[in-house]
Structure formats: C-alpha cells, structure tokens
Amino acid sequence: MFFIGCDNTDEQTKTCNPACEDYKTCSKEGKCVLQKDRCETNNDCKDNKVCDETNHKCVEKVCEKNQKRCSEDKKNLEICNNNKWKVSLYCSNNNKVCDEDTLKCKSLDPICTKGETKCNGKNLEICSEDKTKWEVKAKCSECKEATKECTISIPTFKNTKVAFGNNFKQSAEGAFTFPEDQENIKSIKAYIVDTCSNKNCDEWDRYANLYVKDKETNDWYEIGRFITPYWVGTEKLPKGFEIDVTDFKSLISGKTDLKIYTETWNNKGRTYFVNFEIVYGTPDYKYYSVAPVIQYNKSSIDGVPYGKPHDKVLVKSVELPKNTQKAHLRTIITGWGHAQPATESGPCAEWCNRKHHILINTKKAFEHYLGPLGCANNPINNQAPGNWMPNRAGWCPGMVVPNRIDELDSSLFNAPFKYKYKFQEWKDDGTNKEGAFYAISTFVIAKSNEKIEKPVVK
C-alpha cells in the first residue's frame, strides 16, 4: 500500500498516519517533515524571503502582512495578504479615490477652496491642491481663527553669556533651524531677554546687536540693535526686547547661523535668551530678498567718524531685481562720543540732535532725525544709579534702536540708482581726542509675489 508523501525506498521507513501534506515527506521515524526548499512559516525561509502559504515555497518578500497602499491608478485601497497585494476597498465605486496620505478612500467632490486656511486646535491647516482635504500647514503655539494666523516659536540662544576676559568673548554664535516656506510667513520677530539677577552684570549701557549670516557670502547682516540698560536686565519687559526682522526672512530659513554681540569690557558681561516668533498668514508679498548697502557697525567706535575726514565709503550703486514689486531701505544708526564743539543739545555724536539724509541720484530723498526718543518713559525704569533718563540723539539706554524704513519709488525699479548717506554739516574741533562716530547699517529689501534675486550693490 502506498501513502502520499512517504518515502518507501527504505524498508525501515515507518508509515505516517495521517498521511503527510504534499510539501512534506515522511521520515524514518514516522514523522512528516518539510521537503527541501519548501516551507510552512516565514521562519523556514532564509535570505529575507517569506513563505508563500499557497504553494509553500520561499519567495522574495513583496510586502509586509496587513500593509496598505493605494493602487497605481488610485482607484482602490489594497492590503498585503500572503505576500500579495489584494483589493481591500473599491474606492472608485463611490466616486472616490485612494488618498496616499491617509490610506483611505476620499471624495472627489471639493470640500474647500484651494489655498483656504483654517485653525484646527493649535494647528493651521490649508486646503489641498485638489480641494479634497485639509493638510497641516504649520504646528503652532497659537492659532487665531479670526485672522487664520498661526504663531510658532523658535528658541535660539539659551543662557548665553558674552563678556570680556576670563576666556569669555564679546560675541556668541550658533546654528539654528527655521521653517523654509517663506512664501507663507507674514512676520518674524526676535525677542531678546537680557538677564541680570541681583545686578550681577555689566552695569553700563552697552552697544549690542543681533546678526544673521548670508549663506551665500558668509557675511554677517545686522538684523537688530539695542542698548543694554544700566545695572539691570529686561525683567520689566514680558518677552524682552522686541525686534521685527521680517525683512530678513529669506535668510532666516532652514539652517541659519546667528550671532549676538555686546560691546562689554568686563567679565560680568551680559547673559541672553533669544526667541523668534514666526507668524504664518497672508504676507504683504510672498518673497523677500535683501542686500547690504553699507555696514559700519562692528562696534560703536568702528562706525563712521563724524566731523572730520575719513575713508568710509558712503556712496553706492544699487540695482533692484527686475521683478521687484515693492522695495525699501532699512537703516540703523546711533551716535557715539563727546566731541566738541557741543551743540544746543550736547556734544557729538551721543547727545547732539542731528538731521542726516539719504540722497537718491544726488537728491535728498529721506531725512533721518536723530533726536529725543523719551528715555525717561522707558518701561525699564529701574536703572538707577545709571544716567538713563536724559535723551540721547536717537537712542536710549535699555531700548531697541529704531529701524528707519524708507520706501523706494517704483521709478527706481527699472535701472540702477545712486545711494549716498550724507551727515549734517559739523566739524570736530579736536579738543576731545576720542572723537565722534556714527555706527550705521543700511540694507535694501526687495519684495515680490514671484521668487526674486538679491539686489546688486556696488
């Protein structure tokens, strides 16, 4: 009598009862064992192969058990069963398609308007290109439904000390990661917290600024300037010093190098936390580009000498990109020194009220008045015994230095124009050998709803 699967070549072979499956053979001991190159489970296979449960052979792995995918034509949802893709849902039967993001059948009927946004909890969502679903645009710390604006917070420098001596440096640098979709960013603000517990910091009003590095040129661009308070920090300001840095959103993108500097001359120095708040919403223009026109701002006394000859270049040629739709100049300027002769408001350039001008194509186009800012009304009003209340010319101890924004006429968009910074006439008589200086930076910012190149400055 012959039993399927039993090897009868050996008289000692025992009969297997019940008979073996067709992929097994009956051993001498009367047990059913796997035939060569056959399998019962995945554990019987090698070289990352899997067991085909139909023919019990080891085959190349096609998919993981219960894995899902959309069919190539997006009409069906498929599931992995026995290492084969099989239809799980026929989406097309109900006027639907398979969504590769959710692996579910979604309606072909529009549910929103392309580009439409809404808040969903703390997230800002945007209508998909095919108008059939909502996609997360940004994960926010706050999302305002009324304005469809979403705020995200990016911490950068944390408990970072800058000082002079004892192996400290006057500046600190760091690399940080920011969102890359500048076309959706409405605004970017930097908040600088200057900590000084128990007055254990540099007690003087020091020149300080924040920089971002241009990834193409490796040049540092001044994005904000502030003067430290006497004796204290920014404890009276809820978020610290606030500086609008939206003009530099083309640079504050992806991996970004930042630098913070303070012109401190003792080892107590200043300790900073710097946080950026980015608001997603509808920007005035999707794309910005920026280029430096002049930068003489490494420190207060590295500025432009005032009232005497110097070698600083204050005349430049500027050419805006062809697709510029809006453009402006952004200038930061502060005066330093106690040079004579003094004016009615005091010696120059810290105390003397001045009217300086930007000339465009040799004509006065913009006036910069460096006068009182109301130092006595500073919210940081605990700076005693520092001399914080008297007005300086265009800055105050414990305040952000103003950004002077000058809109450029559209007639300048089509050809290069000549820029010149002209200081109000005044002559240093030399009695104070330290002299007078203006630390100044001017940038040109171009905007467009199309991707835009950098302005060219020569």
pLDDT of residue 14: 66
Structural domains in the chain, sorted by start? 1-61 (no CATH), 68-107 (no CATH), 117-147 (no CATH), 148-283 (2.60.120.230), 287-458 (2.60.120.230)
Q: Is the pLDDT of residue 274 over 50?
A: yes
Mean pLDDT over 209-228 rounds to 98
| Nearest CA among 296, 295, 442 for reference residue 357 | 442
Q: What are phi and psi of 127, to 5 degrees?
A: -70, 135
pLDDT of residue 2: 42
C-alpha–C-alpha distance, residues 44 and 118, integer Å: 53
- Where residue 378 falls among pLDDT bands split at 50, 70, 90? very high
Q: pLDDT, tens digit, for every residue of 146-162?
A: 888 899 999 999 999 99
Which residue type does 174 have? G
- Where residue 141 falls among pLDDT bands split at 50, 70, 90? confident
Determine whether 214 is an active site residue: no
pLDDT of residue 6: 41
Active-site residue among 149, 205, 222, 247? Answer: 205
Structural tokens at position 271: 């300790």
pLDDT of residue 197: 82
Active-site residue among 202, 222, 350, 428? Answer: 350
Q: pLDDT, tens digit, for every residue of 170-182?
A: 999 999 999 998 9
CB 24 within 8 A of CB 9: no
C-alpha–C-alpha distance, residues 110 and 108, integer Å: 6
- Where residue 10 falls among pLDDT bands split at 50, 70, 90? very low
Q: Which residues pair with 272 in a beta bridge?
A: 160, 194
Q: Which residues pair with 448 in a beta bridge?
A: 287
Structural tokens at position 433: 């050998």
Q: Is the pLDDT of residue 1 over 70?
A: no
C-alpha–C-alpha distance, residues 317 and 359, integer Å: 12
Q: In percent, how much of the chain has pLDDT > 70?
A: 97
Active-site residue among 99, 263, 319, 428? Answer: 263
The secondary element (H helix, E strand) that includes residue 225 is strand 220-227
pLDDT of residue 17: 82
More reliable by pLDDT, 217 or 141: 217
Q: What is the pLDDT of the chain when averaged over all its residues?
A: 92
Which residue type does 439 have? A
Residue 189's CB is within 10 A of a number of other CB atoms, namely 17
Q: pLDDT, tens digit, for every residue of 365-375?
A: 999 999 999 99
Mean pLDDT over 24-43 rounds to 88
Instruction: Report the Cα 361 to chain-centroid distance in Å.
Output: 36
Determine whether 367 is an active site residue: no
Q: pLDDT, tens digit, for every residue of 53-81?
A: 888 999 988 888 899 999 989 899 999 98
Determine whether 257 is an active site residue: no
- The model's pTM is 0.77
Beta-sheet strand order (sheet of 171-178): 171-178, 254-262, 207-213, 220-227
C-alpha–C-alpha distance, residues 449 and 282, integer Å: 11
